[in-house]
Amino acid sequence: MSWQEHINNVTKSVAKLIVGVMNRLKYYIPNQALLTIYNALILPHLTYCILLWGNYLPVTYKLFTYQKRAVRAIAKTTSPYAL
């Protein structure tokens, strides 16, 4: 498996968690619970082998945008502007 394939798989996993879990729950549970969900389900995907593939910018940009979406879900904001 190439790094691009690996990062694409990680991106798909993170996207499903953010869209499927965090965006649906953000209206019903407190911010601290959303932060716990982020730390338990999403952050491990983002930090696994980050030292090896962290500088692969063309593909990691997608991960960064999904991470920003998770932060927006925790903050309960929908603004597309910088956080």
Domain chopping of the chain, boundaries: 3-75
pLDDT at 32: 92
pTM of the model: 0.72
Long-range contacts of 3-12 (CB under 8 A, 24+ apart): 3/52, 3/53, 3/56, 3/59, 4/56, 4/59, 6/53, 7/53, 7/56, 7/59, 7/60, 7/62, 7/63, 8/59, 10/45, 10/46, 10/48, 10/63, 11/59, 11/62, 11/63, 11/66
Q: What is the pLDDT along the chain (83 residues), one digit of tens a residue?
A: 777 787 788 788 888 888 788 888 888 999 899 899 889 988 888 787 777 666 767 767 877 888 888 888 888 877 766 65
